[in-house]
């Protein structure tokens, strides 16, 4: 077995850091583009759209806030803060569990479902455009994740 040298470890770490920096830049650029397109047409951020997307995919179009947090890679408190504006404009509503009052669900309203369906077309086009800015070799890898 070949033992790695300090130089090879350093080179590997540098390459890994470079990949992380590039992914972060691509993410930020594409998020900005998607936010711009969705907000100008539908008044939603991509984060708002992502919430509506996850709710639309869930049984009964509702999820526990903790489930939504896990799906989005956020903390429960961050999701709660994100849900408040969507609740205020009537796109989602808070529902209590009939058996356990400690459990609260975020649920897609009929208005939220309508806005989501309209915004989906814009989001799909924005995502298609975003993928065109990513090198083809990276796109192939990302589609496997």
Domain that holds residue 114: 10-129
List of long-range contacts for 72-78, beta carbons under 8 Å, 24+ apart: 72/47
User: How far apart (Å, rounded) are the C-alpha atoms in residues 40 and 21?
Assistant: 29
- Residue 22 banded pLDDT, cuts 50, 70, 90: confident
Q: What is the pLDDT of residue 8?
A: 59
The whole model's pTM is what?
0.82
| Total structural domains within the chain | 1
Are 92 and 56 within 8 A, CB to CB?
no
Residue 73 DSSP label: T
- Angle among Cα 107, 111, 116 to the nearest 5 degrees reads 80
The stretch 121-143 carries a mean pLDDT of: 82
Point out the least confidently predicted range of 14-28, 57-71, 72-86, 114-128.
14-28
Instruction: Note whether residue 119 is domain-resident.
Output: yes
What is the CATH classification number for the domain harbouring 103? 1.10.10.10
Helices (H), the chain: 6-42, 46-57, 65-72, 76-88, 110-132, 136-144
Instruction: Note whether residue 65 is domain-resident.
Output: yes
Instruction: Note whether residue 145 is domain-resident.
Output: no
In the chain, the N- to C-terminal Cα span, in Å, equals 31
Instruction: Note whether residue 144 is domain-resident.
Output: no
Instruction: Note whether residue 64 is domain-resident.
Output: yes
The alpha carbon of residue 44 and the mean position of all alpha carbons in its chain are separated, in whole angstroms, by: 13
Residues 51-86 have pLDDT tens digits of 999 999 999 999 999 999 999 999 989 999 999 999
Instruction: Note whether residue 43 is domain-resident.
Output: yes
User: How far apart (Å, rounded) are the C-alpha atoms in residues 22 and 50?
Assistant: 23
Are 87 and 111 within 8 A, CB to CB?
no
The stretch 110-122 carries a mean pLDDT of: 97
pLDDT exceeds cutoff 90 at 104: no
Are 131 and 78 within 8 A, CB to CB?
no
Instruction: Note whether residue 66 is domain-resident.
Output: yes
- Residue 6 banded pLDDT, cuts 50, 70, 90: low
The stretch 10-33 carries a mean pLDDT of: 85
């Amino acid at each position: 077995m070949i033992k790695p040298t300090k130089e090879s470890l350093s080179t590997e770490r540098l390459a890994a850091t470079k990949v992380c920096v590039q992914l972060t830049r691509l993410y930020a650029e594409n998020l900005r583009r998607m936010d711009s397109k969705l907000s100008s047409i539908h008044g939603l951020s991509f984060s708002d759209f992502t919430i509506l997307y996850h709710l639309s995919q869930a049984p009964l179009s509702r999820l526990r806030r903790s489930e939504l947090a896990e799906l989005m890679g956020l903390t429960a408190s961050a999701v709660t803060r994100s849900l408040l504006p969507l609740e205020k404009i009537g796109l989602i509503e808070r529902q209590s569990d009939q058996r356990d009052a400690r459990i609260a669900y975020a649920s897609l309203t009929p208005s939220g479902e309508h806005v989501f369906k309209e915004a989906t077309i814009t989001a799909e086009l924005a995502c298609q455009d975003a993928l065109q800015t990513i090198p083809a070799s990276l796109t192939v890898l990302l589609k496997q994740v």
